[in-house]
Chains A and B, each alone.
Chain A
């Protein structure tokens, strides 16, 4: 109908502004997004500096005092330190445990996302470049992977290879690569139809050069944009697997495992053992999602 067409559109955006500047400006202009970015920075800083700033090394069983177990937040322990966030059943300082747990959670999230990203980009690029049977084979596998719930894939893999930080990372890579592959293929296919690629092919440039020097850099953007959200997904999956007891080992607890350990005490009112790692985890995931969502909307990428 011709009703709404007659309204003159209001154009405000300046086409000359580089996209990156526009996105950064938009992130800064939103107080919640700005808060999330700052929070993320704090989390990363805390994780990196954990060994320096934690009051205690929570993995060093010798430094723990079992007498200090399940102390309320703010209590003073036998060793003289104050447990600002209380202690768990082994007498571990929760603040230190959270700082180290944050380290594990972030490490798993970043490494697995990087791995999935690398495999996904390669698979998508190959599928788009070579088409035909290669494309069909890769995409069939991708569809197969995406057809199953992520948690199920991870659980089955862990059932066969066992537990451990490395195993969890492998499981998450296996869960996430297919999504990147699909996005990468779609973006690369669009790019491949452009004239400059055609020109490069006609010019006789070798295929690997075209893929790496032209196709990859010009189509990888949309894939990178969704990475932030997928890191959140990876951290959530790791936390879930660890909560279920099939993720990271007790010697290197992540936030998820800390929450699992505190779960039984939650019901008896000793909330801090599960609640504080939980709050840290939720804030981490929410801030990643907020930033990721803003990025995705700014670049208008649909997943």
Chain B
């Protein structure tokens, strides 16, 4: 096994308000190896986006990363200086955001917004930067890239903008890309096209990817490994085959049951009872307990600690017996 690219232990991010500090991310452990694609899955409000931003320390007040370690190639990012973080962001760790319409500056040209990602990290003339940007655009399948660079975000369709964002993330050949639901706003054909491209690029360049999504189908198609998030913590993690074919945590089972991909035609989608607890009203013990059909008395008292078996980990007192779920 190679040395991990990113190692996260006990990451905790809270949001402050007048009534106190609410944990959005509550003790997350993650491991990402070079060139690997990790799917980070969860419902909205599970803390998966906040986790993504916490990794690069891009949490603004009222949010705050309060504890845990984030080791990137062995370097602790939580104690890194702001300038060190800046030099890593966009260079070694690139991000792709959820909404491509909002994230591109409407009044700056695509060329300028791509070039700055290069020129803020290395000495490079505008000409050379534009050339690199144009290469990156053609890599994600945008035709006549030179002309496109002179255009503005509003002249691009949603899918095109997302390709621009992906191309921008690739510019400095980062070690890690954190992609936060980048295909949610796109229609299915464009989505699978982009997924295919990302997978290909990851194989070609050896870039690791953390793909944040609520969509298990996307994870099944794209990822090597999966981490399932619920109420601010990872409840199950392992290879795609392990987690999706042999889930142990009742929540993962529920997610799989409610996913359209797993249902046979004509069958009704199963739903998980109840709703995810809000950040300020987490139940005692296991946070999934109120919605869990397999809950035991102990679940009310004690928050289960992670169990790891052959790289397949889960947090549950009464896991689903192997091979019986689906």
Q: Which residues of A contact B (CB under 8 A)?
A: 1-4, 6-10
CB closest chain-B residue, reference A6: B279
CB pairs A–B below 8 angstroms (26 shown): A1-B49, A1-B98, A1-B99, A2-B45, A2-B50, A2-B98, A3-B50, A3-B53, A3-B59, A3-B60, A3-B63, A4-B15, A4-B62, A4-B63, A6-B22, A6-B24, A6-B50, A7-B17, A7-B22, A8-B17, A8-B19, A8-B22, A8-B279, A8-B280, A9-B17, A10-B18
Tell me the number of A-to-B contacts counted with CB atoms below 8 Å: 40
Residue of B nearest to A5 (CB): B45
Interface: B305 (CB within 8 A): no
Q: For chain B, which range describes its interface: under 10, 10 to 19, 20 to 34, or 35 or more residues? A: 20 to 34
Given contacts A6-B22, A6-B45, A6-B279, contact A1 B97 (CB under 8 A): yes
Interface of A, helix, strand, loop or mixed by DSSP = loop
Closest to B232 in A: A6
Whole-angstrom CA separation of A140 from B11 in the bound complex: 61
A189–B44 CA distance with the chains assembled, in angstroms:
39
The digit string for B22-58, where 1 denotes a CB below 8 A from any CB of A, is: 1010000000000000000000110001100100000
B19 contact set on A, CB distance < 8 A: 8, 10
CB distance from A293 to the nearest CB of B (A): 26
B residues near A9, Cβ cutoff 8 Å: 17
Q: How far is the CA of A3 from the CA of B45 in the complex (A)?
A: 9
Are the C-beta atoms of B17 and A10 separated by less than 8 Å? yes
Residues A8 and B278 in contact, CB atoms below 8 Å apart: yes
What chain B residues lie within 8 Å of A1 (beta carbons)?
49, 97-99
Q: How far is the CA of A4 from the CA of B60 in the complex (A)?
A: 9
Compute how far the CA of A2 lies from the CA of B15 in the bound complex, rounded to whole angstroms.
Answer: 12
Closest A residue to B181 by beta carbon equals A2
Minimal Cβ-Cβ distance residue in B for A9: B17
Nearest-CB residue, chain A, relative to B280: A8
Flag if A7 contacts B18 (CB, 8 Å).
no
Complex A-B, nearest 4 residue pairs according to Cβ-Cβ distance, in ascending order: A8-B280, A7-B15, A10-B18, A6-B279
